[in-house]
Amino acid sequence: MTLEAFARAHKLPPRWVELREACEKIVNLPDFWYRPDLRQQAGDLAVEASNILQSALQQEACGSPHGADALSSTVEVKREWP
């Protein structure tokens, strides 16, 4: 499934796709693992994308027959790189 198809299926905003694509470009750079600045950038993008996804899934769960209890164990992702 493409990112776009996943985003449509879960009613994610275009920003989520942009973040995922930008993160993917960064992590595919040959020197990604050797540059802390690139790892930080990718981490920041990934956290923002993750928070958007979690929010969308929570909204989806609230509309489901199981309600918000379906995602009660999720937490907001915060990533700090050393």
Q: Give the model confidence (pLDDT) of 55-66 as tens digits.
A: 998 988 887 655
Residue with tokens 């960064």: 26
Domain-embedded: residue 80: no
Q: Which residue segment(s) compose the domain that 66 sits in?
A: 3-71
Chain centre distance of CA 53: 5
Domain-embedded: residue 30: yes
Instruction: Say how many domains are in the chain.
Output: 1
Q: For 19-55, how does the pLDDT look when each residue is reduced to its tens digit (9 = 90+)?
A: 999 999 999 999 999 999 999 999 999 999 999 999 9
pLDDT band at 68 (very low <50, low <70, confident <90, very high): very low
pLDDT band at 70 (very low <50, low <70, confident <90, very high): very low
Domain-embedded: residue 77: no
- DSSP string spanning 44-74? HHHHHHHHHHHHHHHHHHHTSTTGGGGGTT-
Domain-embedded: residue 49: yes
Rounded Cα distance between 2 and 21, Å, is 11
- Two tokens at 31? 């020197």
Rounded Cα distance between 69 and 78, Å, is 22
pTM for this prediction = 0.73
More reliable by pLDDT, 74 or 32: 32
